[in-house]
Structure 1
Amino acid sequence: FSPVNPSQVAHVETMLNNIHTQFIEAVRKGRGERLKDEPGLFSGLFWSGEQALEIGLVDELASERTIARDIVKAEELVNFTPKENLLDRLAGRIGAGAASALETVLRQQPSLQ
């Protein structure tokens, strides 16, 4: 790593502040009057769904399927989550089994502890 360069740090801080300001403006414009005046709203904290509903960050609580069906009117929701193939599942189990066996051996060998 390079030594910390104060001018680079200042540049990154300026960029982050600009992005944060743009984000605040976009949220305020998009949510309008629905947004409550909540201290710390744009502090970087995150909110539960119920909290977001109370302060006007969301209109309702729903699953992605409900939104796709009722709001977007999508007839079908496609799940793009990669699926593990048989080899991946076996490798995971073999790896966990090997780690467990190694732990057992290490616990039984006082000289290795």
Structure 2
Amino acid sequence: TEEHRRYAQAMLDQIHQQFIAVVKKGRGERLKETPETFSGLFWTGEQALGLGLADAYGSLDSVARDVVKADKVVDYTTKANVADRLAKRFGAAVGQGAVEALKAMPALR
């Protein structure tokens, strides 16, 4: 409904203002604010450096090593087991086979 849309927009506006306040406080004088800075657009690393939104380029490992001083990074990402990987490949192969069979039918050429 229109009432729900207005409510959702008000929430988004409030969250956006909170985000802007946190970024301004966290970046301080390093932030080079432009009309587009908080427009919702996203930036390349080079653009983020120029806008003062980042201090340097880095990877997860370089930040862990150089900033956090962590000896190693533990990756807790779940990985598919062998059965899941085989099932996914089998499903893809079946799908590809179906596409090829349909392409081979005279009525679909």
Q: TM-score, normalised by structure 1?
A: 0.89
2:97 aligned with 1:89: no
> SS at the partner of 2:39?
coil
Cα deviation digits, residues 51-108 of structure 1 (max 9, x gap): 1011000111110100101110111100112112111111111111111211121112
Unpaired runs of 5+ residues, structure 2, are: none
Is 2:47 the counterpart of 1:57? no
SS in 1 for 2:7: helix
Aligned to 2:66: 70
Structure 1: runs of 5 or more not aligned: none
Give every structure 1 segment of 4 or more consecutive aligned residues whose post-TM-superposition deviation is greater than 4 Å: none
Structure 2 equivalent of residue 40 of structure 1: 36
1:110, distance to aligned residue in structure 2 (A): 2.3
AA at the equivalent of 1:36: K
Report the RMSD for the aligned CA atoms in angstroms: 1.3
CA distance in 2, matches of 1:20, 1:31: 16
Aligned residues: percent identity?
48
TM-score scaled by structure 2? 0.92
The separation in 2 between residues aligned to 1:6 and 1:44, in whole angstroms, is 23
